[in-house]
Amino acid sequence: MLWIVAASSIAASTANFTLSVFGNANLDDTINEQDVAYVQDVITGTKAPTNLTDANHDGKVDEKDIEQIKQIINGTEKELIIYDDSGDAVTINEPVSTAVASSREYDEALRAIEATDSIIAVDTGVKNSSAYFPELGKLPGIAGEYGKNPDYEAVLKLKPDVYLSGFSNYEQDKKSLSGISAIYLKLWMPEGFTERVAKLGYIFNKREEARQYIQWHNDTIETIKEKIAGQSGKSQPRILLASVYADGIHVHTNQSGGGQIPGIIGVKILGEDLIGSHPLLDPEWVIKQNPQVILLLDIPDSIPKGYGTNDTSGMAAYRDEFMKDSSFSKLDAVVNGRVYLLDGKSMTYTGSYILSIAYMAKLFYPELFKDFDPRAVHQEYLKMQGLDYNLKENGVFVYPPIEGR
């Protein structure tokens, strides 16, 4: 049995993430000649194998692994083996020509790295979002929104090279789609997002496009983060991040995808350490916390918002109703008018969470970011998505509206 070095013991000092693709022997963020050298050292006994050294995943480290790594470097590999977020080692036949994206986070990520030509079917959420997915929305729908209740018979008839699983069904997907590589990647979660994009770059042979996207993503976040870090020693506002679901208002903790977003730029939120990811809001608790800023990430679908409307009246009415609620009317955030509504579907639960970061920075620190227009980041993101969409004239994403520079 091979002695395995844990990924965290090496990667922390060499890269921002470890690319969990077999053949990444030295556990950095790419596969290159350094991995060939690492495997050679393992074969000669001068280095210990890692959990990714066995490039062809046959249970031993030998010259065949070096050959596999060289093929990956050249883009000529017949198979690619990855760890997905279920913890499975998934073997993918290469090149990938067809893919079923069962949840919208895959569609956005693949569009950002120019790999949507492979997609042959989508979820109903994408089909019902014609303003944002004008082309992909024309493809067959094989699952409910976010991959719920997939039609396995229809998927098997399509015979895709890979099936990209949503978070609600990935275990059953793997059991039901025999002969198809079912992959589960948490692209809806900010933590680990860039590694998952890099992995898609390898799967779909769009490595350079993935690298450029990751670079833009990281540079944008770092610029905002550094500006906020410059406030060190100054108190930050007490911020409540919440969402409105069918059974009431829920608080985001740092276990939810949305709740992780402020922490990326060094912002703490009230209740981040509460139990669970979206605990039901306790009115007595929120009165005691007395937030200075309240940001609602999700509000009912019946309220017009997003790319398909210019109507702000629904958001305005909902905000007014919220602020008049006796449980909230005396909170600092309400008294000072710092209650904001964000279209969570447009800017969370996918790589679009970077848009939430931009808008949050402006909302949380209006003076610090007085010369910053989050719509500029939003417009750049849409350009990467291949969309010709003028944000100054179209869409409702935040209320009250944010003024530009």
At which residue do the structure tokens 């939003």 appear? 378
Report the distance separating Cα 174 and Cα 376, nearest Å.
40
**CB 63 within 8 Å of CB 50:** no
Contact predicate 108/200, CB 8 Å: no
Cβ atoms 308, 397 nearer than 8 A: no
Separation between Cα atoms, residue 266 and residue 260, nearest integer Å: 10
What is the DSSP code string of 56-90? T-SSS-SHHHHHHHHHHHHT--SEEEEE-TTS-EE
With 0-12 / 13-18 / 19 or more C-beta atoms within 10 angstroms meaning exposed / middle / buried, residue 158 is middle
Query: What is the pLDDT at residue 232?
Result: 67
Single-letter amino acid, residue 37 = A
Q: Please report the pLDDT score of residue 7 as a whole number.
A: 45
pLDDT band at 403 (very low <50, low <70, confident <90, very high): low
User: Residue 4: pLDDT band by 50, 70, 90 thresholds?
Assistant: very low
Quote the Cα angle for 256-20-2, to 5°.
125
Query: Directed axis angle between helix 353-364 and helix 207-229, to 10°?
Result: 10
Question: What DSSP designation does 237 have?
Answer: P
Which tops the pLDDT comparison, 7 or 271?
A: 271
Bridge partner residues of 21 (DSSP): 82
Single-letter residue type at 284: E
* Per-residue pLDDT, 231: 78
The 3-state DSSP class for residue 161 equals coil
Tell me how far apart the alpha carbons of residues 103 and 367 are, in angstroms, rounded to a whole number: 38
Element (H, E) at 226: helix 207-229
With a cut of 70, say whether residue 1 has pLDDT above it.
Answer: no
**Which of 5-14, 170-179, 229-238, 272-281 is the least confident region?**
5-14
Say what the pLDDT of residue 327 is. 85
Q: Mean per-residue pLDDT for 247-262? A: 91
User: Average pLDDT of the chain?
Assistant: 92
Contact 390, 257 (CB under 8 A): no
pLDDT in tens, 377-390: 999 999 999 999 99
9 pLDDT higher than 60: no
Q: Cα(165)–Cα(169) distance, rounded to whole angstroms?
A: 7
- Average pLDDT over every residue of 87-111: 97
pLDDT band at 23 (very low <50, low <70, confident <90, very high): very high
Residue 382, token pair as written in the block:
């849409």
CA distances from 149 to 38, 98, 102, 296 (A): 44, 21, 10, 28
Q: State yes or no: pLDDT of 405 exceeds 60.
A: no
CA 118, 121, 122 angle in degrees (round to 5)?
110
**Distance between the two ends of the chain, CA-based, in angstroms?**
61
Tokens of 187: 């692209």
Provide the residue type at 393 as one letter.
E
DSSP code at position 352 = T
Mean pLDDT of the region 230-255: 88
Residue 199's contacts (CB-CB under 8 Å, 6 or more residues apart) are 19, 20, 21, 82, 185
Q: Which residue has the tokens 């985001």?
A: 252
| Residue 196 pLDDT level (bands cut at 50, 70, 90) | very high
SS3 content of the chain, % helix, strand, coil (to 5): 40, 15, 45
Q: Rounded distance, CA 219 to CA 4, Å?
A: 34
Crossing angle of helices 193-203 and 207-229, rounded to 10°: 170
pLDDT (tens digit, 9 = 90+) per residue, 344-363? 989 988 999 999 999 999 99
Tens of pLDDT, residue by residue over 310-348, are 999 999 999 999 999 888 999 999 999 999 999 998 998
124-152: per-residue pLDDT in tens?
Answer: 999 999 999 999 999 999 999 989 999 99
